[in-house]
């Protein structure tokens, strides 16, 4: 019985060490098998400034993750709905004071995306609905007539939709 316990303990230890050593090799190689470039379009539609800032940082990480795994990311971000309010460089003073860190994070992400060639489109149907002056949208971003039409166009061109909600 003692020998059986030792064999079992050794097997469990070996399995545990294998799991630990595999943890350092976490990647997306199975999904990215043979892929050299991706084409994605992210639909960004949030009603919360914190969530907008958070996911913009996550998407930055996704871009870096693809690059680090040898894949060229061809990304487009399409902003619709209330999210356009958080992109504006002109905020209500009280809202800006209350959400300064998140608003700054969003502006930093916009600049970072532009530096790495990520296209960012802002729906002017949404800017009109939410009373956002188009000239307050950062110059790094492109205004489009209709975010839904943009999504249709990018998907028709082969970009895969990444909905975020």
Domains of the chain: 30-164 (3.40.1260.10)
Give residue 158's region: left, alpha or beta (phi > 0; psi -120 to 50).
left
In 88-136, which ranges are continuous DSSP H helix?
Answer: 93-98, 100-115, 124-129
Q: What is the pLDDT of residues 86-122, one digit of tens each?
A: 999 999 999 999 999 999 999 999 999 999 999 999 9
pLDDT at position 75 over 60: yes
Separation of alpha carbons 152 and 41, rounded Å? 10
Q: What is the pLDDT of residues 16-72, one digit of tens each?
A: 544 444 557 899 999 999 999 999 999 999 999 999 999 999 999 999 999 999 999
pLDDT at position 11 over 50: no
Q: Which has more confidence, 6 or 50?
A: 50
How would residue 6 be classed by pLDDT, with cut points 50, 70 and 90?
low
């Amino acid at each position: 019985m003692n020998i059986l316990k030792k064999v079992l303990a050794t097997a469990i230890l070996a399995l545990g060490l294998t799991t630990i050593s595999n943890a350092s090799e976490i990647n997306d190689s199975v999904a990215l098998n043979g892929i050299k470039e991706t084409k994605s379009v992210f639909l960004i539609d949030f009603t919360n400034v914190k969530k907008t800032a958070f996911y913009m940082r996550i998407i930055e990480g996704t871009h870096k993750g693809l690059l680090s795994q040898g894949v060229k990311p061809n990304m487009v971000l399409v902003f619709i709905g209330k999210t356009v309010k958080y992109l504006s460089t002109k905020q209500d003073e009280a809202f800006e004071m209350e959400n300064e860190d998140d608003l700054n994070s969003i502006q930093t992400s916009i600049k970072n995306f532009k530096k790495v060639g990520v296209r960012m489109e802002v729906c002017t149907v949404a800017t009109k609905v939410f009373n956002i002056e188009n000239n307050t949208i950062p110059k790094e971003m492109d205004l489009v007539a209709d975010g839904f039409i943009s999504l249709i166009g990018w998907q028709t061109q082969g970009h895969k939709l990444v909905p975020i909600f």
